[in-house]
Amino acid sequence: MANDSGPLHRALGLTDSELDDIREVLHREPNPLELALFGVMWSEHCSYKSSRIHLRRLPTEGERVLVGPGENAGVIDAGDGIAVAIRIESHNHPSAIEPYQGAATGVGGILRDVFTMGARPLAVMDPLFFGPLSDARSRWLVEGVVAGISGYGNSVGVPTIGGELTFDECYATNPLVNVLCAGALPVDRLVLGRASGVGNLAVLLGSTTGRDGIGGVSVLASAGFAGDDGAASLDDAKRPSVQVGDPYEEKRLIEACLALLDHGYVVGIQDLGGAGLVCATSETAARGGVGMDVDVTAVPQREPNMQPYEIMTSESQERMLAIIEPSSWDAVKALCDKWEVRATVVGRVTEPAVTSSGERVGMLRVRRGFDGEVLAEVPASALADDAPLYDRPRQRPADLDALRADDPTSRVPANISDDVAELLIDPAWVYRQYDSQLFLNTVVGPGRDAALLRLAGPGLPASQRGVALSTDSNPRWCALDPRHGTAWTVAEGVANLACVGATPVAVVNCLNFGNPEHPEVMWQLSESIDGMSDACRALDLPVIGGNVSLYNESGGRDIDPTPTIGLLGLVDRLVAAPPGWTWRDGDTVVVVGATPTASAAGSRWATSRGWRGGVITAFDGPTFAATARFVTSEVARHCAGEPSDVVAVHDVSGGGLAQALLEMAAASEIGISSDLPLTGADLITETPGRFVLATRDIAALRERAERAGVPLHVLGQAGGSRVTVGSALSVDVADVRRRRVSALEDALHAVK
């Protein structure tokens, strides 16, 4: 523990007042090892110390919720004896420095969070945010991140079924790599990450422990990039904090852990991720109200002469900690041997100590040999739960009013044909690199509104249900109005689920924000959480898990607020694929949902021109919910195999109605002609809550919409080779297809 530049605690990321708190907990001076344990466990990344007081405002209750926030993953009861576990995380800073390994280990980490709950991981989604592709470094990051997700996810055997791809200047030196994983398990196999039973063994499973990733949570994840050129200047200094992934080890670890759980050999299990062994041992002990002795010399080490603090805080990948009864050891060892997974007893569950005031406190003791020297002795709950909580100063950005006053709507041209063509992009180059079909569940894969899977997998009870997943974000809106922007982002996820007939049941979130020590960032975070809360209450959705990624800044510039919202939905009966984007000649194309005020604020069109101002329309929960419910029921009927006149559906979001029509026409290879007097601004307005449907029986659809009280406007008839809307839009479908398909690859492979 080098300590050349000031006091040790500061080098470990602890403030002076946090050192005082530690002295109070211990009633003495901490030794250097103990300081190191606190340093990682009280880091922003592990403790949520800046965000926790705000996160408490989110609704977390719901009738399907089995496990809410705070465990490794949220879990809902999906029916038919099946539970679904879901979690979302970020791996932003590691990916900025080493894109392939950063992204790969992000996938590995999220999988462990899910199979820790006893669930087999069945789907991964990857929302990605980069700077413009005109920059060579951004192109290098895109190719590395996608290759890392592909290389790890495909090999480990979990399909990657969707995600998002966003380009914006604010991510140029601080890209965001978020990753969501959902898994399923028989309801009765649910396990929690807690230790119990004094005398039980803590068994470390999987990879050896090396010096990779030491201090990742504090050095990397809980500080910004300082240089003007962001990550580039810090490559060398911070690269040793990035871990290296081994998907083959993880694959065997998944199979071995699920087999251990199937046999009932495990009383508690926890993954080793951020903060490594100290996090896994202190969290399992704290949750179980027990103590734990850890023998650092028993931990299999990758390198010679590793120090106890290195062993305790290493973030070496592909490791799990299982709590087992001593009588199960032989069977556990045999099963792990079959899967070629290393299993080593590294700890024992101990009686909690009784303090002078009679309180029972589980102590985490780090020892050299089980009966040897005690190197550190700290209350497990002090590490896991008692980090100080900060209500950091919040301040509305001073320039916000000026920004909102600068509304670009009046600048939208009367004819937007050329403008919208520039916005076309097909992310297929990305998702073709992901195995999206493993387990034979993928009914709707990447590239559509939401992904839709059969709810099935090895070892699950039979079911005809479907599970839908969507990830959404909109930094353009959230920069202008984090509250309504985040609320609309939740709505956008619900709209995406509606397009595949799914009823939303739970939300997870990954809150990517700038430096929390900037009052404007804390204001954005607080507003965003309130917006999420508003939307979730209006739509009756519980938040069952989340992740907060702060310090996304470089050269003093914070990223735009980027809350990524993951939506989990269910389809009761899935025997037929939902309608896609494809209409046929002669179908009637309609828009359902309330017509919003035309606005270019926060639109792709405006931001692509550098116009980032304007006012975001206030979130209107009831109107939105009624429309989404109507579309869900229309599509769900289709999925259930019942007769339906609806042949195509797509929601209106990024790029507005124009983009939705172009995407559908491109997919159909058939145009549409509308003589509605819509303006250019009408066509690029992005406010969620509208859907484009194509029907074979307009009279029947209109009648159902009227019964549901949902507005419906006929746009026109599908047919011909052009998309034409009044005098505002006229483009050739073949041209749209060509531009869409080639946009991403052309940008990536351009030599500039």
Q: CA angle, corner 650, sides to 645 and 652, nearest 5?
A: 135
Q: How far is the CB of 251 from other proteins (least distance, A)?
A: 5
With a CB cutoff of 8 Å and minimum separation 6, the contacts of 314 are: 209, 210, 211, 212, 213, 214, 276, 277, 306
Q: How far is the CB of 5 from other proteins (least distance, A)?
A: 40
Task: Choose the catalytic residue: 9, 54, 91, 484.
Answer: 91
Task: Choose the catalytic residue: 45, 54, 484, 650.
Answer: 45
Kindly list the residues in this chain that would bind other proteins in the complex (CB under 8 A): 147, 150-151, 154-157, 246-248, 251-252, 255, 338-340, 431-440, 442-443, 454, 457-458, 574-577
Annotated catalytic residue 45 = yes
Angle between helices 247-262 and 329-338 (to 10 degrees): 140
Selection from 267, 382, 252 nearest residue 321 by Cα: 267
Nearer to other proteins, 337 or 406 (CB): 337
Phi-psi region of 584 (alpha: psi -120 to 50; beta: other; left: phi over 0): beta
Q: 3-state DSSP call for residue 115?
A: helix
Nearer to other proteins, 442 or 486 (CB): 442
- In whole angstroms, how far apart are CA 480 and each of 404, 557, 614, 617, 668? 7, 16, 7, 11, 35
**Enclosing H/E stretch for 324:** strand 319-324
- In whole angstroms, how far apart are CA 698 and each of 21, 202, 604, 690, 720? 68, 64, 32, 17, 20
Nearer to other proteins, 364 or 452 (CB): 452
With a CB cutoff of 8 Å and minimum separation 6, the contacts of 325 are: 197, 200, 201, 267
CB 276 within 8 A of CB 314: yes
Nearer to other proteins, 432 or 584 (CB): 432
Q: How far is the CB of 158 from other proteins (least distance, A)?
A: 8
Nearer to other proteins, 13 or 148 (CB): 148
Q: How far is the CB of 247 from other proteins (least distance, A)?
A: 7
Q: 3-state DSSP call for residue 67?
A: strand
CB hemisphere CA count around 710 (13 angstroms): 26
Nearer to other proteins, 429 or 513 (CB): 429
Q: How far is the CB of 180 from other proteins (least distance, A)?
A: 19
Annotated catalytic residue 27 = no
What would the DSSP string read from start to end of 119-146?
A: PEEEEEEEEEEE--TTSHHHHHHHHHHH
Nearer to other proteins, 140 or 248 (CB): 248
Please return the burial class of 254, using the count of CB atoms within 10 Å of its CB with bins 0-12, 13-18 and 19+. Answer: buried
CB count, 10 Å around CB of 97?
Answer: 21
Q: Which two tokens stand for residue 162?
A: 């969707």
Angle between helices 247-262 and 136-156 (to 10 degrees): 40
Residues catalogued as catalytic: 45, 91
